[in-house]
Amino acid sequence: MSATFRCIVLIPSYNSGELLRQTVSEVLAVYPYIVVVIDGSHDGSEHSLDDFLTHHAGLHIVRLRRNGGKGRAVLYGAQWAQQEGYTHVLTMDADGQHPEYCLHDFMAAGARRPQAMVLGKPVFGLDAPALRVWGRKLSNLLVGMETGGKVKDCLFGFRIYPLLPLIRVMKSSRFMRGFDFDPEIATRLVWAGVPAYNKDAPVQYLSGELGGISHFHYVRDNVRLTFMHGRLFFEWLRRKRSGTP
């Protein structure tokens, strides 16, 4: 890794069960530098990594006492990574959805564009729930409009972020701490002048029989997304009227 691109995989985890160990194991098989942020979990899943810590010096765990949401966990992990000398983070979920075998391709894309964020664009398989596939279309339409089409998928969390603008933009707002993190941070980073490079990545959805989990609450989180899109839309209108790019 160069001085302009030193990247660590950042995995936020809340009650991820057995999938946390499986995900971390798969990443360690292809990439040695990982920070797992335990976001107030109470299922004991973080202890499944204890033996990994003994044998993998590049694996680190940041523990948060209370559950504060994905965005908050990413912010804490990003600040830790910056203090350790990293310049970028590659975020991926703990639930096995994101393709660890794409890590090197994404890292290479990030190294070629250290000023940019590399945004995963999901390639859905037959296992993808139709409600999720269709439900994200409106979010993508709105964020596409607000970013001039620069963000192709606003909800997919397999991404590389440059740390300086990520932390600066997140600390400038009290939002982006929960499930609304992925679409809002992508939009605001574009507004902040961070280039966006979109790159295809397969996504898989594990069934309950295979340990698949979801903490998405359809009422609560859709209300949060609606509120977020409202804020972004009216700010976008204000920016257009003022001539702000």
Residue 1 belongs to a domain:
no
Give 95's Cβ-side CA count (13 Å radius): 19
Residue 170 belongs to a domain:
yes
Output the CA–CA distances (angstroms, integers) from residue 221 to 40, 178, 181, 216, 225, in the order listed: 19, 9, 11, 7, 6
Contact 162, 114 (CB under 8 A): yes
- What is the residue whose two structure tokens read 């209108």? 237
Per-residue model confidence as pLDDT tens digits over 159-197: 999 999 999 999 999 999 988 899 999 999 999 999 999
Residue 202 belongs to a domain:
yes
Facing residues of 63 across strands?
38
Per-residue model confidence (pLDDT) at position 57: 97
Per-residue model confidence (pLDDT) at position 133: 65
Specify the pairing of strand 7-13 against strand 34-39: parallel
Residue 221 belongs to a domain:
yes
- From the number of C-beta atoms within 10 Å of its C-beta (0-12, 13-18, 19+), residue 206 rates as middle
**CA triple 194-136-66, angle to 5 deg:** 75
The structure tokens listed for 212 are 């698949």
Low-confidence ranges of the chain (pLDDT < 70): 1, 126-135, 206-222
Helix (H, G, I), strand (E, B) or coil at 148: coil
Per-residue model confidence (pLDDT) at position 209: 46
Q: Return all residues near 138 (Cβ < 8 A) that are at least 6 apart.
A: none
Q: Return all residues near 55 (Cβ < 8 A) that are at least 6 apart.
A: none
Residue 31 belongs to a domain:
yes
Helix or strand run (H / E) with residue 228: helix 218-242
- Quote the CA–CA distance of 164 and 121 in Å, as a whole number: 23
Residue 72 belongs to a domain:
yes
Tell me the average pLDDT of the chain.
Answer: 90
Helix or strand run (H / E) with residue 62: strand 59-64
Global confidence as pTM: 0.91
Per-residue model confidence (pLDDT) at position 210: 44
Residues 131-154: b if buried by 16+ CB within 10 A, e if exposed:
eeeeebeebbebbbebbeebbbbb
Per-residue model confidence (pLDDT) at position 130: 64
- Quote the CA–CA distance of 207 and 165 in Å, as a whole number: 36
Facing residues of 198 across strands?
119
- Quote the CA–CA distance of 33 and 56 in Å, as a whole number: 9
Residue 2 belongs to a domain:
no
CATH number at residue 94: 3.90.550.10
Per-residue model confidence (pLDDT) at position 221: 63
Domain span at residue 74?
Answer: 7-242
Residue 123 belongs to a domain:
yes
Length of the chain: 245
Per-residue model confidence (pLDDT) at position 204: 83
Domain count, the chain: 1
